[in-house]
Amino acid sequence: MFRNKERNKTIVKIILSLFLAMWLYYFIFFRDNPELVLEHMFSIPNESYLYIFLTILFGWIAYVIRGFRWLGLIKAIGHETTIIKSVAAVSFGYFVNLVLPRGGEIARCTSIYKTDKIPVDKLLGTILIERVIDMIILIFLIIISLVLNYDIFLEIFDRTESSTRSPINPFGIVIVLIFAIIFVFWRRIKSLKLYSKLVGFLLGIKEGFVSIKNLDSKKTFWAQTALIWVMYFLMTFVCFFILPETTSLSLNDALLILVVGGLGMVVPVPGGVGSYHYLVMIALVSLGIGEYSITYAKEYNPALLFPFIIHLSQTFLAIISGIISTFILFLNKDNE
């Protein structure tokens, strides 16, 4: 009886997540002129659907490689799971990220904990090292792209600066207040049971974080990391052949779109909806493609249609793989 209730809750969560993701897309793209968006989507050449399929395929391959890489880190902390569960957990994490920013990392850990009873704190440590490495690579690629496209980056910053400029940074104020409270009440905090639990949790994260030292093959880990980013690059490059206006863009332009889109995905919004489209649109306008617009109420605009297509294709991948992964990880976990 209890297990049936848990399964029903899982199904309800899936449905609610899908509705929230669809609502975000509607609010940003379909609210003003839905017929125009659909008309432009279905007016692309038939051969363009091959490239849409390829970008989805490259995205799925990146999921699989991430699953293999995470499996190596899990083994490095002295635990075991299967590659199917590892890939499924990665896919489920991307699915959760569509509606809950950064919630996918927690979802990955809890899903593997429910199937293999691997401690969540140690799993979080392995994901933390993944994120640190991926962020370093993104920064490295940003530097390369900045050197190659300095003028374009200046134009991107000029367009975004006015919307982000503020005399007071509320995030900074919150950080200062948190540290002030910790400083004043430090002794009282140390006496709480929660403090000892938090310390134990952080030590578990540390153990997972240093798992890279215990990898069976560091070369394999770095090769997998490189392949993941190659897949991300190919995901972007093949999309240039979807629209006639972007077919003339180069490999250098693909790197620019990749890093700008990566920055858009870092913004803590569900699935990068809005932030990804906005930054990629600005980059394309800087490359001479389309025009600047914050709504899809205008006529055909390849600068906004391009990020919409590439993001929608990856959202489709996240939803389909996420649903399948949910059944693998949750609905069949009674067999573990």
pLDDT of 121-145, one tens digit each?
Answer: 888 888 888 888 888 888 888 888 8
pLDDT of residue 25: 58
- pLDDT of residue 27 exceeding 90: no
> pLDDT grade, residue 119 (50/70/90)?
confident
**Higher-pLDDT residue of 158, 59:** 59
pLDDT of residue 61: 97
Q: Where are the alpha helices (DSSP H) in the chain?
A: 2-25, 34-42, 48-76, 83-97, 103-116, 120-148, 150-164, 170-184, 186-190, 193-209, 218-239, 251-266, 275-286, 302-326
Q: What is the mean pLDDT of residues 234-254?
A: 92
Q: What is the mean pLDDT of residues 288-314?
A: 76
**Higher-pLDDT residue of 33, 325:** 325
Burial letters for 136-154: b for 16+ Cβ neighbours within 10 Å, e otherwise? ebbeebbeebeeebeebbe
Quote the mean pLDDT of the chain.
76
Q: What's the pTM value of the predicted model, to 2 decimals? A: 0.76
- pLDDT of residue 191 exceeding 80: no
pLDDT of residue 168: 42
- Give the percent of the chain with pLDDT over 70: 63
**Higher-pLDDT residue of 39, 67:** 67
pLDDT in tens, 48-83: 889 999 999 999 999 999 999 999 999 888 888 999
- Give the percent of the chain with pLDDT over 90: 22
**Higher-pLDDT residue of 163, 48:** 48
156, two tokens:
């991107």
Question: Which residues, in sequence order, are CB contacts of 283 under 8 Å at separation 6+?
Answer: 152, 156, 256, 257, 260
d(C-alpha 71, C-alpha 108), whole Å: 12
pLDDT of residue 174: 43
- pLDDT of residue 255 exceeding 90: yes
pLDDT in tens, 104-118: 888 898 899 888 888
d(C-alpha 268, C-alpha 253), whole Å: 25
How crowded is residue 233: how many other Cβ atoms within 10 Å of its Cβ? 17
